[in-house]
Amino acid sequence: MNSPALPDPGAFSAAPTSYVSVDNGRIAYESTGEGPLVVLSHGIGDLRQSYRFLAPLLAAAGYRVVAADLRGHGDSSTGWASISRSDVASDLLALVRHLGGPAVLVGQSLS
């Protein structure tokens, strides 16, 4: 019996980087797929590409998948005065509003 082909994780990493402006900076994200919105947020010291295996699976299942870089990480702005749970939550809410929400948020560690 043949297993179904898995989506290519490299396809998500090839998505163009977009940005949402927040107070004192901008948050980088990439998007793939169509359907209900799922926002993926990594932990401290990591990058949005940590979801490179999960994102294509969710997109193939019929979701619009957005992975964001935390403030001070990856392609997001650096030099923030703080990077607290409240700051990250505020950034993610701004991203969901920007994208037209509602959304399911998936995170780990600080996210």
Query: Rounded distance, CA 30 to CA 16, Å?
Result: 6
Query: What pLDDT score does 2 carry?
Result: 59
Query: What pLDDT score does 48 carry?
Result: 96
Strands of the chain (E only): list them: 18-22, 25-32, 37-41, 64-68, 103-107
Torsion of CA 106, 34, 67, 58, to 10 degrees: 50
Contact 106, 96 (CB under 8 A): no
Low-confidence ranges of the chain (pLDDT < 50): none
In CATH terms, 17-107 corresponds, of 3.40.50.1820, 2.40.30.260, 3.40.47.10, 3.30.70.980, to 3.40.50.1820
Query: Rounded distance, CA 43 to CA 81, Å?
Result: 18
| pTM to 2 decimal places | 0.88
Query: What pLDDT score does 13 carry?
Result: 60
Tokens encoding 78: 């650096």
